[in-house]
Amino acid sequence: MNDVSKELLSLLDLEPLELNLFRGIGTGGETSTRIFGGHVIAQALAAAYRTVEERMCHSLHAYFVRPGDPSMPVVYQVDRTRDGGSFTTRRIVAVQNGKQILTMSASFHIQEEGWHHQHEMPSVAGPEGLLERAELRAGVADQLSEKHRDDFLRQRPIEVREIAPRDFFNPAPEDDVNHMWFRMPAAKGTDIAMQHCLLAYASDLNLLGSSLRPHGLSWFKKGVMSASLDHAMWFHAPVRFENWHLYTMDSPFSGGARGFNRGSVYTQEGALVASVAQEGLIRKYAPRN
């Protein structure tokens, strides 16, 4: 277990402040410049799970209101909207410095039997033999200024292996459909709630990039401003995120300075365990010289 994986597990163990009120730390994870969107979603889901017993989250719908400051803690307010016979609803507001940075609704369901079908997992190369993202980044880090290099190479908690990695800085236009394998070995032994929180964290990785692909854009290319606007997720089954999962993503539409993205998460054996949708800002701007 690497240090940042231990740190992420610790960050999702929120501090209770009062009934329905929790505090989380925003530092660590994917970037040092602002709180990673998946980080806030995962902590909001962890707060909601603290108020629910014996039910599994089946869906969440979140809006990113403001960027989060990683140097400050985040307070999560949970509203116990409804406790029904088979469904439980929670509304969570993430607050930092007196202002909302995220609002989220989450629904929880008792385990029931029912009819089952799913789309088949795409036939792609397995994770074995693919380069880990840390290796890919290390190979091109010399193209960055020293100012940005440390953040680019920072250790990250989720192991990611892309099927067909793109050029970080000058990608060619490509199809919007893309795939990656991801896992977090440190998830082993954690309960259903933590597993869901970890997958929620990871589900924000690379998803918005799907809408950049057809235009030959990336986060590192000058002239593009990007940010997640909202995030929806549906959990279809319990997760064992210490094992490899395939994240297959696409972007059916972009326009009006926004890109719409979808994702499906499969176990290595082919079971569909989660679905994701997200809209993000992809705005043109004139970079400063």
Among residues 43, 96, 107, 278, which one is catalytic?
278
Distances (CA, A) of 147 to 142, 150, 152, 181, 287: 11, 7, 10, 30, 18
88: CB partners within 8 A, 6+ apart: 52, 55, 82, 107, 108, 109
Distances (CA, A) of 188 to 76, 194, 246: 26, 10, 18
Among residues 228, 254, 264, 275, which one is catalytic?
228
Q: Of 82, 14, 4, nearest to 44 (Cα)? A: 14
Query: Which position has the token pair 């089954």?
Result: 237
What are residue 9's phi and psi, to 5 degrees? Answer: -60, -40
Distances (CA, A) of 257 to 99, 214, 280: 25, 14, 8
CA distance 130 to 47: 35
For residue 228, indicate whether it is catalytic.
Answer: yes
CA distance 71 to 232: 26
For residue 278, indicate whether it is catalytic.
Answer: yes
C-alpha dihedral sign at 126, 128, 131, 133: positive
Among residues 43, 176, 195, 204, which one is catalytic?
204
CA distance 276 to 263: 5
- In the chain, how long is the greatest CA-to-CA distance? 60
The number of beta carbons lying within 10 Å of the beta carbon of residue 24 is 22
Residues with a catalytic annotation lie at 204, 228, 278
